[in-house]
């Protein structure tokens, strides 16, 4: 190509990923306000050959009518794509790619960190010190929940779910039960100390900790609702590093307040960056601002994966991670 394709990044990326992109493309970066406003989207669709959105973007319907736009491909910066209307993209001939695999370990690490933080009162202990409320060691103060040997339930046993099982089973001797829409090879599950159960409810009833690793959107919206929260043990904890809309936040806030479950660790929320008004005041809930993939190494690799997908698209080759 004589002229480099023009690409818009809807948010700033790590520097090394941007520099790599600049070797192949003409790059512009939307620095704010975030998420990118609709008028900027409409302008960009007529200005750029590709746009690289993220989970925070609200993509207008015009984006999916590729024949009317200069933009013919969305190189999504992230593995999840429930913010993209894939059916509309297919009908409108708009190509879409994502970044699977590269953020598996970082997200599983984050889920395990949230589990430990809420079970052992790590965040609560930090808060006590910063608030000046610590009065010294006490044998009955801030007693947490024992993690080693407890049962972990996983909803969604893909790459990240399996990485979470590996950490829990080999790191903390946790037996693992899981539910997945499709059957997982029994030998593969057994190697991770895991058993597949036939229903979500069966996993909820058996687990001391429940970690969500399923896609968001569609039929998974409010997968964890008031009825399913009541299936959990009152001593159990819910961990969500998947998508915010998988959990009914109002139902969860009520369950945390009334003792239906013991606690929660949340990295994602229904209407980011808005968080349900009741959650920040609950000391049995650890809140993180969507940090699952937030290591410099992982976010850089995500950008490089977007780059390789777009290079393939403009070379008229199949994209390695087409959705």
Section 177-192 average pLDDT: 98
40 burial level (CB within 10 Å; 0-12, 13-18, 19+): middle
DSSP secondary structure of 172-202: H---EEEE-SSPPPHHHHHHTTEEE-S-HHH
Tell me whether strands 194-196 and 209-212 are parallel, antiparallel or unpaired: unpaired
Q: Which runs of consecutive H residues, i.e. helices, occur in 143-272?
A: 159-172, 186-191, 200-206, 226-229, 249-258
DSSP letter at 139?
A: T
Widest Cα–Cα separation across the chain: 72
Residues 46, 25 contacting (CB under 8 angstroms): no
Residue 86 has pLDDT above 90, yes or no: yes
Second CATH level (architecture) for the domain 6-102+296-314: 3-Layer(aba) Sandwich (3.40)
Confidence class for position 2, pLDDT limits 50, 70, 90: low
Q: How far is C-alpha 47 from the geometric centre of its chain's CA atoms? A: 30
Give me the percent of the chain exceeding a pLDDT of 70.
Answer: 99
User: pLDDT for 260-310, tens place per residue?
Assistant: 999 999 999 999 999 999 999 999 999 999 999 999 999 999 999 999 999
Of the residues 167, 179, 243, 276, only one is catalytic, namely: 243
State both tokens at 222.
């409010």
Our answer to whether residue 290 is catalytic in this structure is yes
Confidence class for position 88, pLDDT limits 50, 70, 90: very high
Of the residues 159, 290, 299, 301, only one is catalytic, namely: 290
CA-to-CA dists, residue 306 to 197, 216, 268, angstroms:
36, 21, 22
Residues 161, 154 contacting (CB under 8 angstroms): yes
What is this structure's pTM? 0.94
User: pLDDT for 227-246, tens place per residue?
Assistant: 999 999 999 999 999 999 99
Of the residues 201, 222, 272, 308, only one is catalytic, namely: 272
Quote the CA–CA distance of 245 and 274 in Å, as a whole number.
12
Cis, bond preceding 35 (omega within 30 deg of 0) = yes
Instruction: Name the 3-class secondary structure at 304.
Output: helix
Section 107-111 average pLDDT: 98
34 burial level (CB within 10 Å; 0-12, 13-18, 19+): middle
Residue intervals of the chain classified under CATH 3.40.50.720 are 6-102+296-314, 104-287
User: Does 104-287 carry CATH code 1.25.40.10?
Assistant: no
Quote the CA–CA distance of 61 and 46 in Å, as a whole number.
14
Our answer to whether residue 272 is catalytic in this structure is yes
Number of helices (H), then strands (E), belonging to the chain: the values are 11, 12
């Amino acid at each position: 190509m004589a002229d480099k394709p023009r690409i818009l990044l809807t948010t700033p990326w790590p520097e090394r990923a941007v520099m790599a992109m600049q070797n192949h493309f003409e790059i512009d970066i939307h620095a704010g306000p975030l998420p990118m406003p609709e008028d900027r989207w409409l302008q960009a669709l007529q200005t750029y050959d590709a746009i690289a959105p993220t989970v925070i973007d609200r993509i207008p319907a015009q984006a999916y009518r590729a024949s009317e736009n200069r933009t013919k491909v969305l190189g999504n910066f992230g593995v999840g794509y429930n913010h993209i209307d894939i059916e509309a993209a297919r009908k409108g001939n708009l190509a879409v790619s994502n970044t699977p695999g590269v953020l598996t370990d970082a997200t599983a690490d984050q889920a395990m960190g949230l589990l430990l933080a809420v079970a052992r009162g790590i965040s609560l202990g930090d808060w006590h010190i910063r608030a000046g409320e610590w009065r010294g060691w006490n044998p009955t103060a801030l007693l947490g929940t024992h993690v080693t040997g407890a049962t972990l339930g996983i909803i969604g046993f893909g790459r990240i779910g399996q990485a979470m099982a590996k950490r829990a089973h080999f790191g903390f001797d946790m037996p693992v039960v899981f539910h997945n829409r499709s059957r997982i090879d029994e030998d593969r599950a057994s190697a991770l100390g895991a058993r597949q159960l036939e229903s979500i409810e069966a996993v909820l009833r058996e687990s001391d900790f429940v970690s969500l690793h399923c896609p968001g959107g569609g039929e998974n919206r409010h997968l964890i609702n008031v009825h399913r929260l009541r299936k959990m043990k009152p001593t159990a904890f819910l961990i969500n590093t998947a998508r915010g809309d998988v959990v009914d936040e109002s139902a969860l806030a009520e369950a945390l307040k009334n003792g239906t479950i013991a606690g929660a660790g949340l990295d994602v929320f229904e209407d980011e960056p808005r968080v349900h008004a009741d959650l920040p005041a609950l000391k049995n809930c650890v809140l993180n601002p969507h940090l699952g993939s937030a290591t410099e190494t992982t976010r850089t690799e995500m950008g490089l994966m977007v780059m390789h997908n777009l290079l393939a698209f403009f070379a008229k080759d199949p994209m390695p991670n087409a959705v």
